[in-house]
Amino acid sequence: MPLVSEKTRIILKLFTPQRRKPNPRHALAAAERDLAGKTIVFTGGTDGIGRVAVEMLHQMGAHVVVPGRDAAKGKALLAALAARGGRGKASFEPCDLADLQSVKDCAARILAAHRRIDVLVNCAGINAMSDVPTKDGFAMNWSVNYLAPVLLTRLLLDRLRDAAPARIVNLTTDTAYLDVIDLETMETDPDLGQKDSYAASKLAFEMFSVDLAQSLSGSGVTVNLQHPGYIRSNLLRNLRGAERVMQGVMRIMASPTEVGADRIVRQVAASGFNGVSGVLIAEDTQRAHHSEVGIAAKRQRLAAFTDRILARWL
């Protein structure tokens, strides 16, 4: 039995200074930094670590397609990329992950505009504290962190298969804070359940990712998870009251966005991930999945339930 519980470890880490710069031991080789001709769909690319990662991929020559809700941020991103004069291309697609029809429409436009998709990065995420549901009736965290990226992935999957070898990189968090996933609540609450919905939605996405990796075995499309670590981000912007003090702690203790972005880009481009699928990379090392992920019956139950929810948009 460990001396320190997983929950305690996570809390202690919030008050521990993190890495200030990307680890040079994992720097990409020159050949790996040449992404000319690659098309990368990257959600969450207008802000935070996502934006820094998009800038890096653009510098490496990729065509980065950024779905996003905020058109002003999208316009600002494209202007900044143009001003930097990187070797790549970039485009912005309006997409609200809290509106599943918007996700479907966005996927249709991407498919119409791009004959190939080499990489899909599901980086967008939210830690919503409000219990106001989305227009589809789901808790915000469940829509943005789980249903929307699952839907987008499934809608773009055939195009990724056609471009094989291709990669799917799904961002996650330290789901060990949650002991089990409450499938009963998901199946009975119309909004899928508000309690612990941030960690639960991320754990569900981890379960989906492992299932998808197994189903794509031999196809040339790999699916891996990336937990970039304790990084300065906007995920805590919705905290209320005394909890808002954690924003100040994050600014002091957490790694800068460049560290998290480097970890994402490495999983997109490093040759060390060729043929590797179904793994979780936490910061710079591979970590075992949450124990719930290893229960095939729970993954199957979640998958069947998710299929029923998303049927109208597929």
CA-wise closest residue to 108 among 127, 125, 95: 95
CA-CA distances (angstroms) from residue 24 to 20, 85, 89, 90, 103?
12, 25, 27, 27, 37
CA-wise closest residue to 226 among 270, 268, 274, 282: 282
For residue 41, the cross-strand partners are 65, 120
* Cα(23)–Cα(112) distance, integer angstroms: 39
HSE-CB of 10 using CA atoms within 13 angstroms: 11
DSSP tag of 155: H
* Cα(251)–Cα(284) distance, integer angstroms: 21
SS3 6: helix
CA-wise closest residue to 153 among 310, 290, 312: 310
Sign of CA dihedral 100, 205, 91, 221: negative
CB of 184 closer than 8 Å to CB of 163: no
* Cα(157)–Cα(27) distance, integer angstroms: 29
Reply yes or no on whether 146 is catalytic. no
Q: Of these residues, 146, 177, 198, 230, which one is catalytic?
A: 198
Q: CA Rg, the chain, in Å?
A: 18
SS3 237: coil
For residue 221, the cross-strand partners are 166
CB of 230 closer than 8 Å to CB of 253: yes
HSE-CB of 40 using CA atoms within 13 angstroms: 35
Q: Which residues are catalytic?
A: 198
